[in-house]
Amino acid sequence: MAFVPRLLVLALLPVILLLGAQVGYRPLGHALQAQTLLSSWLPPLLQDIVLLNRPRVKVRQGTVVGTTFRDGLPQPVEVFRGIPYALPPVGDRRFRRAQPIPDSDNTFDASQFGPRCPGKQLIPIKGNTGSSEDCLTVNVFRPQGVKEKLPVAIYVHGGAYNRGTAAMHNTASMVGWSDKPFIGATFNYRIGALGFLPSTITAEEDILNLGLHDQILLFKWVQDNIEAFGGDPNQVTLFGLSAGAHSIAHHIMNSDLGDTYFHRAIIESGAATSRAVHPYNGRLHEDQFREFVEAAGCKDIPPTEVMRCLRSQPSDAVINASFTVFDRYNPSVRWAFQPVIDGELIKQRPIDAWKSGRWNQVPILTGFNTNEGTYYVPRAMSRSAEFTDFFRTLLPAYSESDIRTIDALYPDPATDPSSPYVETRDIPVGAQYKRVEAAYGHYAYACPVRQTATFASQGQEVPVFLYRWAVNKTVLTGANHGDQMPYETFNPEVREISPTQEEIAGMLHAYFTSFIVAGDPNAVPGRYPHRPLWENYDASVQEGKRIMVFGEGNDERAGGGHVGVPAQMVEDEWSRRECDFWWTKAGISD
């Protein structure tokens, strides 16, 4: 007799789907605010039809129902998106540490990404779901047919702690093309003022580095729930780019975490010693906090009432104030809303943590790109004085002697015809652009990454692997910050450009996924069994430090005809002299 009702349900299916579209996607975190779950507006029989043949997993806060990706993948990937890992940090929970989702028996539609956390986006985001303060969601990607506990990789997105989202990373492609199976996870965490608002007032409320606390709460969620997806909580790799890489490095420096949440790390174009990590009450942070409070509409309020005011303001007022202050400091690259020394997650200057030896000794794969600075420095810079003024502004704690050293390390093309920074390209940039790009890229990214490899490899307690990304994407930007991301995922946008681009992407993807599943980029031969052996980086030797270089000499995407070398081990001599200087300044609070 059940056959007739099921025919009726099938007949009504278009109406059901229309209703679902009108109700819209609502993540788990709304469960305590309104009846928006599938189980609240569909009876069990209709739920069975709507969610027919979709993968489902029972986690602590309910059953999540995902989707399956097949197009362009050699194996199907089951995808569960938009799963909240914390209560919505809105209303009185704004500017407070996130709280975990309570257990429940509800059923949740996990077919779409949740909204991204509000941020000042630099580039358009594919699959844009809009932004909301209610943004603390996780996405899980697993190969179809999981029958054993698989290694897990958690991607921490970048974006200067003021932009970015989990949806930027094509994790489904990375998982689907892996020669050995693993489970991927991506997530959003609070950014901008909502995630990083250092000051004396916020320190007194114990709400510093909220974005880093969000990350740790997500790591706990993975430990509690990933086995339900077929993952092994004892084989977790953190990997991330830029601010995501900085974050991972800070977690490595936090010896209190031990090996509770992660066991390997891929740190791309970031380091704990990248840029400066100030005390929470540094003058710059206090100035930016005051400007933010005023822009948010809470000026002339007693200090004890400031946070109450900020929590009561409309979301747009708080978000726009965050954007305003970030934009004000962006030209100087003295960005607002950054992690700070809080005595808890970041106990001391990262350089001191390295020197103390108290850090989580896990296998590390790390690297940088040849032209890390091209996004960030003024393209129109044309005068020699602008170069030195740029670094005086960026690094006010540096002495005039330091500024003169920087000036000499990067020979001025205006006075030295043999300078490697003489502009010979036919592009609309100033005469000092190539020079300032190199200097800033070394200071902010390349040299701190190499410093990580040096400290982590001393004594060879754990394996360390170092790379440089050299594929020229455009004539203007060269091998720019973040360019390797679509290659590591074996994304069709790069692998379909040419056979050489496919080979470079395939090798990088093979190395990364081998490290994820085995802690060694060479362990899984896969589709590229003859790729070069990636040797351990060993800073203890005086000569013979070795680094993997990807795509040296390749300019196909920049309109050239050179394919270069997909991957090769070389002596680590690139910009060594410049990095030696920047390392001497790693302890200066700029």
Measured CA to CA, the distance from residue 512 to residue 178 in angstroms comes to 9
Greatest CA separation for the chain: 91
Any idea what the Cα angle at residue 440 is, between residues 434 and 442, rounded to 5°?
100
Tokens of 59: 């986690």
Count Cα atoms within 13 angstroms, Cβ side, for 367. Answer: 30
Q: What is the DSSP letter of 332?
A: G
Measured CA to CA, the distance from residue 100 to residue 95 in angstroms comes to 15
Let me know if 242 is a catalytic residue: yes
Q: Which of 140, 133, 171, 142 is closest to 29 using CA atoms?
A: 133
Measured CA to CA, the distance from residue 340 to residue 212 in angstroms comes to 10
Q: Which of 152, 174, 127, 142 is closest to 68 using CA atoms?
A: 142
β-partners of residue 152 are 183, 236
Of 178, 242, 247, 457, the catalytic one is 242
Q: Are strands 137-143 and 150-156 parallel, antiparallel or unpaired?
A: unpaired
Measured CA to CA, the distance from residue 368 to residue 92 in angstroms comes to 40
Residue type, 381: M
Q: Which of 204, 292, 225, 219 is closest to 250 using CA atoms?
A: 219
Residue with tokens 């989202």: 165
3-class secondary-structure state, position 285: helix
Q: Could you give phi then psi for residue 565, rounded to 5 degrees?
A: -120, 120
Q: Which of 457, 420, 444 is closest to 369 using CA atoms?
A: 444
Measured CA to CA, the distance from residue 516 to residue 74 in angstroms comes to 19
CB distance 462 to 543 below 8 Å: no
Measured CA to CA, the distance from residue 371 to residue 382 in angstroms comes to 19
| 132 exposure class (CB count in 10 Å sphere: 0-12, 13-18, 19+) | middle
Residue with tokens 């603390």: 136
| 466 exposure class (CB count in 10 Å sphere: 0-12, 13-18, 19+) | buried
Tokens of 183: 């489970």
Residues 438-457 as b/e (b if ≥16 CB within 10 A, e otherwise) read bbbbbbbbbbbbbbbbbbbb
Tokens of 356: 């103390």
Catalytic residues: 242
